[in-house]
Structure 1
Amino acid sequence: MKIIFSMVSIKPWILLITFFTAFSAMANEEGPGVIKGQVTTSDGKPAEMVSVSIKGTSHSAITDDNGHFVIKNLKPGTYTIELSLVGHESIFQSVVVDGEHAAEVKLQINLAEKQLQEVFVVAGKTGYKLNNVSSSLRLTTPINKLPQNIQVVSRQLLADQGTFDMLEGVSRNVSGVSKLEHWDMYVRLNMRGSRIAPFRNGMNVESTWGPLAEDISMVERVEFVKGPAGFMMANGEPSGFYNIVTKKPTGQTKGEANVTLGSYDTYRAAVDLDGKLSGDGKLLYRLNVMGQLKGSHRPFEFSNRYSIAPVLKYQFSPKTSLTLEYTYQNMRSTPIGTAYVFAPNKYGSTGRNTTIAEPGMERSVFRDHSSFLIFEHQFNPDWKFTTQLAYFNYDQVGTSMWADSVKANGDVYRNMGIWDAKNEGKYAQAFVNGKFTTGAVAHNILAGLDYGDKNYIADFSQSLPVNGKNIFNIYNPVHNMTPDEFPVFDRSIRLKDRPGASRLSQKVLGVYVQDELHFWDDRIRLTLAGRFTTSKDEEYGAGVSESKVTPRVGLSVSVDKNTSVYALYDEAFVPQTGKDKHDKKFTPVTGHNIEAGVKRDWFNGKWNSTVSVYQITKNNVLVTDPEDTKFSIQLGQTKTRGVEADIRGEVAKGLNLVLNYAFTESFISKDTDPKNVGNATPGTTKHINNGWLSYQLPGKLKGFGVSTGYQWQMGRSSWFVFDGSEASLPAYFRFDGAVSWHKGHYGVNLNVNNILDKYLYSGSPYGNYFYWQTEASRNFRLTLQYRW
């Protein structure tokens, strides 16, 4: 504790003590009357995560893993218990409390266990394994029976790992995913040979520089879909995408508050409120609020954020609902790019705390607004219609910093450029899910359309040298610049009217239909689908309009009730804007994926394993021009093939595990320059192996938990380089751990990252020098939690 107190000022601790004292007073109230009981499903299984409330009062509880609940502080009398589920009629039962003995009740909901999981598919179970994808992926078939490799990262796993945002270690939980260097505010994840697109609630929100990385406080789960996915993507890389599912109202009255203190002046607080706004339970709400002050292991750097994410859901009837969601994120940081170090000799030739930043530099400000309107109507048990609209508006006022040149002795001539930007996205979706039978064949139908309109404008045109009193040397850095020595940029003209502003735009319309045919009592499932996509793109003055039909065929066979094998063929279509340095416009990427795998649930579905093999062929791939990094060049063709294995879930009582491995081989198979053929594709990692193990102690130590995990990467190539030379990155190994205690309403988590204190980094050669971005040395985060 001495170490912890030495790193934290007294004021945050006063706030922390006040915060938890207030909640302690609330939690320690005891009343004379108690109602306790168990809720089961229609097939006799415990019903967890069900809201139990006392009608006409504020008393409520949530059933645990065994369906049990306890409600205290009741005066003697007769009460009406209400069981509520989103989209289903409430269940009522009368019970008498005498004030001397606990009243015990047994209740049953008219849903089977599988149906209950579907009701709470967004909220999910606590633990690491989830059986179904979210409704935003449009699929109703359980993950184990889908002819595609889909991995879901649960909220519980992210909490155990002490994750703050998508820039941190979310990628460690899925085979073959790696995080490349970034511009501090957005996420670039690679998988199966290329960058994967960011989705939010089923919509492709990718832009060249964005969107702003989501804070985990607003995230319910993260779904990684591997390979092309014609049922989801109007356009996108054939390697796949990740889908952020935001928190929605559950119909349960509950809440959670967290306060975190950590290394490098990190202070964070978050509150999650969930409940009802009307007595009839039709108007529901969810509110997540977060505030964060976060320093860095590099001096003069910071990343301060706050966010607010209110959600309202109105249940017109058990069959019809309307959801309105809004999110505002605000981030203020040092100039973009100051996280990088530049040196002439090799990677890692300076200390990991080295920085090119100066104290008092102009901060960059990011404001990110997003909103969703979702309408759902269940015509009958077999047919459902969903439509959703979304609007994204991102505003950035800031600067970037880079090296203009680097000399052999380590002198770095720094350059600062303006980077003001606006990003606007408008999206619409409408789709229908349905079921019917023709003879002995059952059909699952998915049909719909997607529309997206993205516009990005940025001013990179103003750039000035950063000159201090002395030439800045990376091996002997002196930070003595004063505010009057920093460049000043002209912002007198509105961004959209600035003559040097760059504009990027894209309009996409996709129409698709998919039929999942079920044969032989659902033992065999054949997926047949097709998608028509048309796109109009413009970037840096070059525009292109393209249309294409892409087919999809999948087969999944249940060997037994726990094991399935699958095969898949799918195609992708990615329009590309812009032109090379010879003024030649780029043609669209086309690609296809051939994949096969085995999925199995173990020990009554407590944990799951997936093994897959695949080959992706991409035509007309863009990479950075090694002769002039301001431009891109278009390769003829790349091939990516590999093997992936994932294990997740409760492998023994109290022991949750995430373990994954991926072998990825990605290379240039055709090119106009024969010498490039056979070279590795930039940004790929040949071997990725991750593990995370969490154990909840039994017996007298119940409530205590220990966790540990590692990330191991070998055969890393940098973002720009694909020649396998010394410019490739060295192997990467990081070891983390955590201890926790949870009892009743309270919880404490202590996470320690980079326990072995390794010098970890990612980067690339850049002309005649190297640049890289380091990770922090050994560091900690202490989180105190209260749930009600």
Structure 2
Amino acid sequence: MSINRIKKACFFMFLLTSLTAISQELGKVSGKVSLSGNVPAEGISVVLRGTKYTAVTNTAGQYEIKNVKPGSYTISLHSVGIRPVEENIVVTAKQTTTKNFSLSESQEDLEEVVITKNKYKQDKPSLSLRLQTPVLEIPQNIQIVSAQTLKDQQIISMSDGVIRNVSGAVRLEHWGDLYTNISMRGTQIQAFRNGFNVVSSFWGPLTEDMSFVDHIEFVKGPAGFMLSSGDPSGLYNVVTKKPTGITKGEASVTAGSYDFYRVSLDLDGKLDKKGKVLYRFNGAAQKKGSHRPFEHNDRYVLAPVISYQIDDKTKLTAEYNFQYANMTEVGSFYVFAPEQDGYASRPRNFTMTQPGLPDTNIQDHSGYVMFEHKFDDNWKLTAQTSYFKYMQQGYSSWPGVVGPGPVDRDYDGVKEGDLTEGQIIRNVGIWDAESNMYLGQIFVNGKFNTGAVSHKLLGGIDLGNKDYMADYFQSHDLDTLEDPFNVYNPNYGTPSNGLPNFDRVTPLSVRAAALINSEYAAGYIQDELGFLENKLRLTLAARYTWISQSSGDDVEEDSHVTPRVGISYSIDPNTAVYGLYDQAFIPQFGVLKAGGTLSKPLTGNNIEFGIKRDWFDGSWSTSLSAYRIIKENELVSDPSNGPRDVFKVVLDEKRAQGIEFDVRGKIIDGLNVIANYAFTEAIVTDSKVSNISTGSIVPGYSKHTANAWLNYNFQAGKLKGFGLSIGGTLLADRETDTWSVGLEKLPTYFKLDGGLSYETGKMKVTANVFNILNEYLYSGSYYAPLQAYYWQTEQPRNFRVGIAYKF
């Protein structure tokens, strides 16, 4: 060995020894940060000034800074809504320096400032998602629509503009503010409330009123490991308001175009002096007309919550939500036109509904009981049970003949060509339905270390029993062949064939056309392993699900194990890249065209990659993801039927893929933004259905979706308190909601909205104008059995003005 090589080897040995010695002499700084009332302060940045040493407090207010060189430092605390705090400390080799802080700010002050400073961005998912990890570090695309977003955009229900805040989410057929039916990543996604899957049939649930909603979480891709029976394309989870322990209230009054009037009340406080018993009460009443005559949708909501802090570690919460809807029959918003006329051939305010038809009314009840117990700072048990009851008594309108085309059903003596162009025989069907759901969950979250590897453990059990029954086979023609309805010269007087008189004396359970029951039981476990001081995170999970479905004497059982593997790496404290592989296994309901009402559960898998980043100390964030989803054995609408028809067929396999980009948060003081773009492509990759060919485009999505919402509040000067908002939605290459696309495609959709606000003291006035450009906006499909186009229009230019008062 040469002298130079010996010198180099000695140098590297000396360097390695020196580094080892230095590492052995490093110290550590840790402590806890509390607000007034000894409330843990979460999300506070802790910095050793002038160095790279930083940390952020966890949910318990604790922080830890490792591998600090011995010496004297100035430790600094800062976050939105707190006064900066600085103190001197001394770090000693091989020892832990403990420094606790007690801040003068209260939780109430902090919440108010956070809403003001960063009102569109939330960093952590709710308890009902069962995760202990910040959104930035979760190996999945999760978008959270905040409470302040809902207020600024004057959103009143789940189907009223929420989706503009999430990339790739669309509602091509709006269902008259009755059902939300959101599509994302090429498929209708599942509806959840407080972590429970509340879907008992394709038709439902009733869209949630925003009076009792705190925020909404959109989980892209499957989430069956943490929320039972999640679709491979994703889900939305509505998180309801809970008591905060802060005595406060808010009342609001809103009025708008087309006879829209609404009042709501939110009360929050304590029922005892010690603050162990807390309450929250939300209520709302709404009268809502339409730009179409004879149409309305009125709502009444009550939502009380009570929580009891049994001791420092145990909490019990009970909640009840009641929604009552009284509305025009389902289908009143549709307009039909002969094939020769095509889409949008009638005025925006045109209607085919019949005045005098009884209202459709819906009662939606849901109750929850949640038990939470902390064994210590690292282990927590959560158990909750819920009961959902949905009752609907009403009607559904849909034509049987659109002249001069063919006949949808068997009409005695009626054949194609008997009606001239524009003549229609309107039909009204009964739609009485009832659903009961009994759901239960119990899960454990834990944290521990094995050597240098950290673990975030999640394990639990899900149980559920759902039933749904409906009568939709009684029907009545409003018009006759001799005196049909004419879209060119409509007559809304007494229909020529009179109004319906359906059988409601016979119990629904006897006359129901569909009686479906589903039971499931599942167990799951997930471990998030953290390496390199949690810079690298590996998620391993598995779920076993057993499902039993029955309809009459038919019973089908199945079980499956679905794995999940995710990896996330923090390039720096504000940037993470991730990859994910997941599977899904969920029950399906529908009346099969081939006979019966049962189908094998849907299975699917998802591959996803993405990058997330927080900018400027977490003020705003971006996420970019790419995915591919394969779904097998999915029930889809029969290509020969329309939205009113209940028959389904089984599609062998389809594939959805695309990219999504989201940005949200505070760009500069006063300026908040939400913007997103998605490219989506979904095709059939294998089909045995005669009229659905392999390679067909899957209906129900838009290939290009883009949204933006900007809000600016003046921070100083004479205009302080004033705010401006502007937002737009673009849908391009829209696919219809049926397989029969006809000769016309849906046109590109663009909607522009904007608003003004003024806040002074405890009062805030918000005004928004929707569809500023007064565009003729609509969605619809081609209905092959009648050789006709149908569509539903959105409101012309319209406004809402609201006044909110906090007390």
Look up the match of 2:146: 154
Question: Is the CA contact 1:228–1:570 (under 8 Å) kept in the aligned structure 2?
Answer: yes
Q: Which amino acid aligns with 2:467?
A: N
Q: 1:699 to 1:358 in 2, by over 3 A?
A: same
Q: Which is higher, the Rg of structure 1 or of structure 2?
A: 2
CA deviations over 1:573-593 (Å, ceiling 9, x no partner): 123345643338633321100
Q: Deviations over 1:517-559 (max 9, x none)?
A: 0011110000000000111123587542110000000000000
Q: 1:651 to 1:442 in 2, by over 3 A?
A: same
What SS does structure 2 have at the residue aligned with 1:635? strand
1:203-352 equivalence runs, <5 A: 203-208=196-201, 209-345=203-339, 346-352=342-348
Is 1:547 aligned with 2:567?
A: no
1:621 aligned partner: 634
**1:191 partnered with 2:178:** no
Identify which of 173, 194, 199 aligns with 2:165: 173
Structure 2 match to 1:531? 543
Q: 1:141 aligns with which of 130, 133, 147?
A: 133
Distance apart, 1:275 and its partner CA? 0.4
Say if 1:456 and 1:182 are closer, same or farther in 2 by CA, change over 3 A: farther
> TM-score if structure 2 supplies the norm length?
0.82
2:700 to 672, 683, 694: 683
Alignment partner for residue 201 of structure 1, among 189, 194, 197?
194
What displacement does 1:497 show?
2.7
The 1:578/1:261 distance shift into structure 2, 3 A limit, reads closer
Once the two structures are superposed, what CA deviation does each residue of 1:47-102 show, in whole Å capped at 9, x if it has no partner? 99x9xxxxxxxxxxxxx96348xxxxxxxxxxxxxxxxxxxxxxxx9xxxxxxxxx
Shift of 1:125: 8.2
Deviation at 1:182, TM superposition (A): 4.3
Identical pairs, percent: 47
Q: Is the 8 A contact 2:477 2:497 kept in 1?
A: no
User: For the residues of structure 1 that align with 2:113 and 2:373, how far apart are their CA atoms?
Assistant: 17
Q: How big is the shift at 1:344?
A: 1.0
Separation (CA, whole Å) in 2 of partners of 1:697 and 1:270: 27
- Distance of 1:776 and 1:524 partners within structure 2: 50
Deviations 1:125-184 (A, max 9, x none): 860000000010000100000000000000101111111101111011000100131443
Q: Is the 8 A contact 1:180 1:188 kept in 2?
A: no
Counterparts of 2:517 and 2:116, CA distance in 1: 37
2:763 is aligned to: 746
**Counterpart AA for 1:370:** S
Query: Does the 8 A contact of 1:418 with 1:489 survive in 2?
Result: yes
The residue that corresponds to 1:571 in the other structure is: 583
User: 1:100 — aligned with what?
Assistant: none
1:77 counterpart residue number: none
Match of 2:373 among 374, 377, 380: 377
**How has the CA–CA distance of structure 1 residues 505 and 582 changed in structure 2, closer, same or farther, with 3 Å as cutoff?**
same
Matched with 1:595 is: 608
Structure 2 gap ranges (5+)? 1-35, 47-55, 60-78, 84-101, 405-420
CA RMSD after TM alignment? 2.9
CA distance in 2, matches of 1:44, 1:237: 36
1:728 CA displacement = 3.3
Q: Secondary structure, in 3 states, of the residue corresponding to 1:676? A: coil
Q: What residue number does 1:646 align with?
A: 662
Partner of 1:706: 724
1:771 aligns with 2:786: no
1:732 equivalent among 749, 761, 771: 749
SS of the residue corresponding to residue 479 of structure 1 reads coil
**Stretch moving more, 554-563 or 411-420:** 411-420
Alignment coverage as a number of residue pairs: 696
CA deviation after TM superposition for structure 1 residue 474, in Å: 1.6
CA distance in 2, matches of 1:273, 1:491: 40
Q: Is residue 66 from structure 1 mapped to residue 62 from structure 2 by the alignment?
A: no
State the alpha-carbon separation in 2 of the partners of residues 682 and 542 from structure 1.
Answer: 31
What amino acid is aligned across from residue 344 of structure 2 in structure 1? Answer: G
Q: For 1:573 and 1:633, locate their aligned partners in 2 and report how far apart those are by CA, in whole Å.
A: 18
Single out whichever of 339-348 and 669-678 deviates more from structure 2. Answer: 669-678
Once the two structures are TM-superposed, the CA of residue 316 in structure 1 deviates from its matched residue by 1.1
1:132 maps onto 2:124 in alignment: yes
Deviations 1:201-243 (A, max 9, x none): 0011112221211100110000000001132233232001000
**Which stretch shows the higher mean deviation, 423-432 or 543-552?**
543-552
Residue 781 of structure 1 aligns with which residue? 800
Give 3-state SS (helix, strand or coil) of 1:559's partner.
Answer: strand
**Greater alpha carbon shift after TM alignment, 622-631 vs 236-245:** 622-631
Cα 1:720–1:516 change in 2 (3 A) is same
- In the TM superposition, 1:336-415 aligns within 5 A as 336-345=330-339, 346-408=342-404, 409-415=421-427
Match of 1:467 in 2: 479
Per-residue deviation at 1:713?
0.5
1:478: which partner in 2? 491
Do the aligned partners of 2:478 and 2:495 also contact (CA within 8 Å) in 1? no
Quote the residue 1:632 is aligned against.
Answer: 648
- Aligned partner letter, 2:81: N
Distance 1:720 1:201, change over 3 A: same
Query: Structure 1 residues 173-182 or 380-389, which shifts more?
Result: 173-182
CA contact (8 A) 2:752 2:773 kept: yes
Aligned partner letter, 2:441: Q
CA deviations over 1:732-784 (Å, ceiling 9, x no partner): 11110110001111110111000011111111111211111110000000001
Q: 2 CA distance for matches of 1:730 and 1:316?
A: 58
Instruction: Give the Cα–Cα distance (whole angstroms) in 1 for the partners of residues 297 and 591 of structure 2.
Output: 35
Output the CA distance in 2 between the equivalents of 1:246 and 1:310. 11
Output the CA distance in 2 between the equivalents of 1:736 and 1:564.
34
Shift of 1:514: 0.1
Q: Output the amino acid matched with 1:152.
A: I
Instruction: For 1:679, give the aligned amino acid.
Output: S
CA distance change for structure 1 residues 297 and 313 in 2, over 3 Å: closer, same or farther? same
Q: Is the 8 A contact 1:541 1:578 kept in 2?
A: no
User: What CA deviation, in whole Å up to 9, does each residue of 1:468-508 have, x standing for no partner?
Assistant: 8942112222211279931111211221232x442122111
Q: Secondary structure of 2:600's match?
A: coil
**Partners of 1:230 and 1:551 within 8 A in 2:** no
Asked if the contact 1:579/1:586 (under 8 Å) is kept, the reply is no
Instruction: Please state how far the C-alpha of 1:360 moved relative to its aligned partner.
Output: 2.4
SS in 2 for 1:626: coil
Residues 639 and 740 of structure 2 are in contact (CA less than 8 Å); yes or no, is this contact kept in structure 1?
no
Distance 1:231 1:673, change over 3 A: closer
CA distance, structure 2, for counterparts of residue 691 and residue 42 of structure 1: 30
Please give the alpha-carbon distance, in whole angstroms, between the structure 1 residues aligned to 2:441 and 2:684. Answer: 36
Structure 1: give runs of 5+ residues left out of the alignment: 1-35, 51-63, 69-92, 94-105
Structure 2 match to 1:665 = 681
Answer whether contact 1:234 1:508 (CA < 8 A) is retained. Answer: no
Cα distance in 2, alignment partners of residues 512 and 227 from structure 1: 18
**Shift in Å, 1:467:** 2.7
1:680–1:722 CA contact under 8 A, matched in 2: no
Matched residue of 1:131: which SS? coil
- Whole-Å Cα distance in 1 between the matches of residues 553 and 226 of structure 2? 29
